[in-house]
Amino acid sequence: MATVFTTRITAMYTVQQPDPNYVINALWEVTGVDGTYTASIGGNTQFDSTEQTTFVPYADLTEALVISWIPENQIDSAQACVQGQIDSLITPPVSPANTPLPWSA
C-alpha cells in the first residue's frame, strides 16, 4: 500500500512589521498513513520580509497558501523521515542482543 502524506500548519508566529501580523515563522507537521501504520514529524520554516514579493493580510491567509511557502525540499525531507518511520513499523529493525561471552560461564 502506498503512503498518503498530509501537511498541516500547527502554529504561526508574527511580528507587527512591515504590516500588522506579518508571519515570520510557521510550524507544520507532515503525517503519513500506510494502511494501519501512521507516523508524523514536525518542522518549522522561517520567513524573511525582505524576500516576500506579495503581502497577504493575515486575515486572508489560508492553510494551503502558507503550506505553499514552505520550500519543497523541506516537505520532501519530512516525508522521507515519515516513510522511514513507517517502514520501521512495518518491518522492525533487527536489534542486536547482548550475548554472554562464551568463556565466562
Helix (H) or strand (E) holding 64: helix 63-69
Q: Is the pLDDT of residue 82 over 90?
A: yes
C-alpha to C-alpha distance for 12 and 23, rounded to whole angstroms:
7
Q: What is the pTM of this model?
A: 0.83
> What confidence tens digit (pLDDT) does each residue in 1-40 have?
799 999 999 999 988 876 677 888 999 999 999 999 999 9
The CA angle 46-87-97, to the nearest 5 degrees, is 115
- Grid coordinates representing 100 are 554472554
> What confidence tens digit (pLDDT) does each residue in 33-61 have?
999 999 999 999 998 866 666 778 888 99
C-alpha to C-alpha distance for 44 and 26, rounded to whole angstroms:
6
| Residues near 40 by beta carbon (within 8 Å), at least 6 away in sequence | 29, 30, 31, 32, 82
Per the CB < 8 A criterion, the answer to whether 5 and 79 are in contact is yes
Mean pLDDT (whole number) for 61-79: 96
Residue 104 binned pLDDT confidence (cut-offs 50, 70, 90): confident
pLDDT for position 48: 80
pLDDT for position 15: 86
Amino acid 58 reads Y
Residue boundaries of the structural domains of the chain: 4-90
Sign of the alpha-carbon torsion through 93, 94, 98, 101: negative
